[in-house]
A and B are shown apart, each in its own frame.
Chain A
Amino acid sequence: AQSVTQLGSHVSVSEGALVLLRCNYSSSVPPYLFWYVQYPNQGLQLLLKYTTGATLVKGINGFEAEFKKSETSFHLTKPSAHMSDAAEYFCAVSDPGNTGKLIFGQGTTLQVKP
């Protein structure tokens, strides 16, 4: 069965500092991986996705993530945090069945300090 683990339920960084949000997955087949962001009182917005091909994927708002099969990881990074990045971030893996269901990690709340 697929599963996703996000290390650290809360991450705090200073404005301008590197953002690193960790995600590890388990999957019986090559996974499709996603990062979603949730701002307060809003739905989930797709940040980026990995399906096949280049293992470093770039998303919106300057975020990127690298698929590392050997480490079963898909960590999210951003070189320089902005106050507007404060939100909850969810890593997800697509179930290999043909329903398109996503399996989410428990989420990481990113706090950005001035």
Chain B
Amino acid sequence: EPEVTQTPSHQVTQMGQEVILRCVPISNHLYFYWYRQILGQKVEFLVSFYNNEISEKSEIFDDQFSVERPDGSNFTLKIRSTKLEDSAMYFCASGQGPFSPLHFGNGTRLTVT
């Protein structure tokens, strides 16, 4: 069964550094998402992406965050200048349509020191 893949599985970075988290969604999916889960907390929506543009973003998704679909397969999340509070598990998800179930990757654990 097709799956969403995320790389790297773990990323350690120093505060102030830029990080790029990568995702390969399922190939025939059109809707793409990033969520994050701070340790011990709920899964939080960051951003949705459709038709090569952001369709919705949360208040967490400030100017330090950006997303891109640079080619037909990858979907990336960039954090320009990481803060300690950005430490979390970041999940990429994709779906065929706006109300179809989302398929999640295994996540990237980001640790900011």
A→B interface (CB under 8 Å) = 32, 34, 36, 41-46, 49, 51, 90, 94, 97-107
Contact B43 A44 (CB under 8 A): yes
Contact A99 B31 (CB under 8 A): yes
Contact B43 A99 (CB under 8 A): no
How many A-B residue pairs have C-beta atoms within 8 angstroms? Tell me.
61
Name 23 A/B residue pairs within 8 A (Cβ), A-sorted: A32-B99, A42-B106, A43-B104, A43-B107, A44-B43, A46-B102, A49-B101, A98-B55, A99-B50, A99-B56, A100-B31, A100-B33, A100-B95, A100-B97, A100-B100, A101-B45, A102-B35, A102-B45, A104-B42, A104-B43, A104-B44, A105-B42, A106-B42
Contact A100 B43 (CB under 8 A): no
0 or 1 for each of B37-74: is its CB under 8 Å from A? (1 = yes): 00001111100101000011000000000000000000
Q: Is B112 an interface residue, CB under 8 A from the partner?
A: no
How many residues of B are in contact with the other chain, CB < 8 A?
28
Provide the bound-state CA to CA distance between A79 and B5, in Å.
33
List of B residues within 8 angstroms of A36 by Cβ? 104
Q: Is B98 an interface residue, CB under 8 A from the partner?
A: yes
